[in-house]
């Protein structure tokens, strides 16, 4: 199988002891490509270094994570823009709105999100969107600038059938990770109502490890577990899930 992890933070400190081994293990499990969404200005160097170490397998995104949209967000965005100017990024991400950790920054989160959506259109790049407890706000901002030039993925999708269909109708993919394997998540029932043709596989490593590794450090080598779960949900073989999600990723991110 040829699988792609479309969202993994392998450059984070949780992998400092065994980063290269973790990448190698993923490759051995058939996860040929790993896409790395940036967090803030302090993570850029480690992310780019990992992509230099594995140029055929690791590909960077550039963006400012909504949880890192603080008082200095305009300076952070200037750094994002300077890197986008240099090219070599497969997407603008991780961007979006997070209303789980801090609702008080909603106004500036919206501004940062909107600006990065505009840049994605300018640079003809897809976006990786963080949507934690923020679907309504996300849709509101996207609708300001949405057209055929805006594309991307709703990362870590755990929403309703209606939210998923709305995202698809707006031209977006849905990123499916470890939550789909959780016994009581209900995501399996939601996905049954949505087409496999609009899904991508992701881990969000080191977070949200799938069953049977739940509660442990997540890593890209676990992508086959999500692929198998989707095969069970859609009653197809895992090769079809691999083929469909990998082609979706290659098309969206121009891999």
Q: Are 248 and 200 in contact (CB under 8 A)?
A: yes
Report percent pLDDT > 70 for the chain.
100
The half-sphere exposure of 145 on its side-chain side, counting CA atoms within 13 A, is 19
Instruction: Give per-residue pLDDT as tens, 69-124.
Output: 999 999 999 999 999 999 899 999 999 999 998 999 999 999 999 999 999 999 99
173 has a pLDDT exceeding 90: yes
CA-closest candidate to residue 35, choices 212, 230, 205, 163 = 205
47 has a pLDDT exceeding 90: yes
1 has a pLDDT exceeding 90: no
Confidence label for 224 from pLDDT (cuts 50, 70 and 90): very high
DSSP assignment, residue 65?
-
Domain boundaries, the chain: 3-253
Fold designation for 3-253: TIM Barrel (3.20.20)
Report percent pLDDT > 90 for the chain.
98
DSSP assignment, residue 90?
S
| Calpha distance 255→14 (Å, rounded) | 27
Q: Is 164 exposed, middle or buried (0-12, 13-18, 19+ CB in 10 A)?
A: buried
CA angle, 178 as apex, 227 and 18 as ends, to 5°? 95
Q: Let me know how long the chain is.
A: 255
Q: Is 175 exposed, middle or buried (0-12, 13-18, 19+ CB in 10 A)?
A: buried
Instruction: Give per-residue pLDDT as tens, 174-194.
Output: 999 999 999 999 999 999 999
DSSP assignment, residue 201?
E
221 has a pLDDT exceeding 90: yes
| Calpha distance 21→10 (Å, rounded) | 11
CA angle, 154 as apex, 31 and 55 as ends, to 5°? 35
The half-sphere exposure of 96 on its side-chain side, counting CA atoms within 13 A, is 27
| Calpha distance 34→54 (Å, rounded) | 10
| Calpha distance 151→154 (Å, rounded) | 10
On whether the pTM is more than 0.85, the answer is yes
For residue 30, the SS3 value is: coil
CA-closest candidate to residue 243, choices 227, 232, 221, 229 = 227
Structure tokens at 92: 């603008």
Residue-level pLDDT at 32: 96
Mean pLDDT calculated for residue range 233-241 = 98
Q: Chain-centre distance of CA 208, in angstroms?
A: 13
């Amino acid at each position: 199988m040829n699988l792609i992890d479309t969202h993994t933070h392998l450059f984070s400190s949780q992998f400092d002891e065994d980063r290269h081994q973790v990448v190698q293990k993923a490759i051995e499990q058939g996860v040929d490509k790993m896409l790395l969404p940036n967090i803030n200005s302090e993570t850029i160097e480690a992310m780019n270094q990992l992509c230099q170490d594995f140029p055929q397998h690791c590909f960077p995104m550039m963006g400012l994570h909504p949880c890192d949209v603080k008082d200095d967000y305009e300076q952070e965005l200037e750094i994002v823009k300077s890197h986008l100017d240099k090219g070599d990024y497969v997407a603008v991400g991780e961007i979006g709105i997070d209303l789980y950790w801090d609702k008080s920054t909603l106004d500036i989160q919206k501004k940062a999100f909107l600006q990065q959506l505009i840049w994605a259109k300018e640079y003809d790049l897809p976006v990786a969107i963080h949507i934690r407890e923020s679907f309504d706000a996300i849709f509101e901002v996207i609708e300001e600038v949405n057209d055929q030039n805006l594309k991307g993925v709703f990362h870590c999708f755990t929403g309703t059938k209606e939210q998923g269909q709305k995202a698809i109708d707006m031209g977006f993919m849905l990123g499916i990770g470890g939550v789909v394997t959780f016994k009581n998540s209900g995501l399996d029932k939601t996905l049954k109502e949505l087409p496999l043709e609009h899904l991508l596989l992701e881990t969000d490593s080191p977070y949200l490890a799938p069953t049977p590794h739940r509660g442990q450090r997540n890593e890209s080598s676990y992508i086959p577990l999500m692929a198998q779960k989707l095969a069970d949900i859609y009653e197809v073989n895992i090769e079809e899930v691999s083929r469909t999600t990998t082609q979706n990723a290659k098309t969206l991110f121009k891999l």
